[in-house]
Amino acid sequence: MRETGGTEDGSGEEVELAYGSAAAARRDAVPQLEHGLLVRTRAQVAPGAWLRIRLGLAEERVELHLAGEVRWTTPLAAGALAAVALRPASHRDRVQLDLLFQRRTAGAAPEPLAPGDAGEAGPLTAALFAPDPLLRAGLAEALEALGRQGGRPVVVAAAADPTALVRALSAAPPGLAVLDCDALGAAAAPLLAAIRGHAGCALLPVVLLAGDGASDAEDAHAVVLAKPVDLRRFGELAAALLGAGGPCQRCDAPGAPAA
């Protein structure tokens, strides 16, 4: 259980919660709340109070800035123990919290179809831009593994360049885009803006891969994943964002390099 600093008074001061990993944070979870944590504070807070929360996960290299509503408290000799319901400010933050608390994301991503409906609706496209062949192959295999979950088929389209990536998203109903920001450099933000301006992609979930775990291209519907990429975590994230399983099929967008 994490203890806050000495300046929190329940009136908007930021509470910093630093965990070694998501698994460590889950030990403080409040089962009755969707995204709830037990927080030890040196200030006396009352139910209904709001706190600003900075939640850090060292192993995952994730930092979230959230609002938290105090649901109940237990007074201590110095301060209180509070159950705090975390409130995500964006779809991106909700996805991160759902992964932290091991819950399924419900948001912009489509819901899985009933068996037999997948063929009628056609596949979703997971467009992938990662020039490194080993990284590209690993990401594609992780996406293909989602097919074992059943539901709507997903086509993994490996694009050779940004233009091909945008073109791939128009080939089938878009479900997800994955961008290697290190390879794109300063072009990452303009590319994401171009994707957002494409038909049907304004709310498209996007995974941004970045060596330092941060990217200027990040927006409310994009999630940054630090490199080197943990493929298991990438698979969990992709599953949450896609909201669709089914037999993933692999194809190459026009001009895509061989994996």
Calculate the dihedral angle through the C-alpha atoms of 112, 34, 236, 256, rounding to the nearest 10 degrees.
Answer: 60
The pLDDT, as a whole number, for residue 99 is 86
Contact yes or no for 213/61 (Cβ under 8 A): yes
DSSP 197-246: TSTT-TT--EEEEETTS--TT--TTEEEEESSP-HHHHHHHHHHHH---S
Contact yes or no for 48/82 (Cβ under 8 A): no
Q: Tell me, yes or no, if the pTM score tops 0.85.
A: no
Residue 255 CA to residue 259 CA, distance in Å, equals: 12
Q: What band does 19 get if pLDDT is binned at 50, 70 and 90? A: very high
Residue 169 CA to residue 204 CA, distance in Å, equals: 10
Per the model's pLDDT, the better-predicted residue between 134 and 77 turns out to be 134
Map out the domains of the chain with their CATH numbers. Answer: 2-90 (2.40.10.220), 118-252 (3.40.50.2300)
pLDDT above 80: residue 15: yes
Residue from 104, 239, 132, 115 nearest 176 by CA: 239
The pLDDT, as a whole number, for residue 105 is 53
Pairing of strands 206-210, 174-180: parallel
Q: In angstroms, how far apart are the furthest CA atoms of the chain?
A: 67
Residue 94, C-beta contacts closer than 8 angstroms, at least 6 positions apart: 88, 105, 107
Residue 151, C-beta contacts closer than 8 angstroms, at least 6 positions apart: 112, 113, 115, 118, 244, 245, 246
Angle at CA of residue 196, ends 193 and 200, nearest 5°: 165
pLDDT, one tens digit per residue, over 146-170 is 765 655 677 888 888 888 888 888 7
Over range 141-147, report the average pLDDT: 77
pLDDT, one tens digit per residue, over 28-39 is 888 888 899 988
End-to-end CA distance of the chain: 45
Q: Give alpha helix (H) positions in 75-117.
A: 91-100
Over range 186-192, report the average pLDDT: 89
The pLDDT, as a whole number, for residue 243 is 59
- The amino acid sitting at 56 is G
- The amino acid sitting at 45 is V
pLDDT above 80: residue 58: yes
Q: Which of 10-19, 106-115, 194-203, 230-239 has the lowest mean pLDDT?
A: 106-115
Contact yes or no for 105/113 (Cβ under 8 A): no
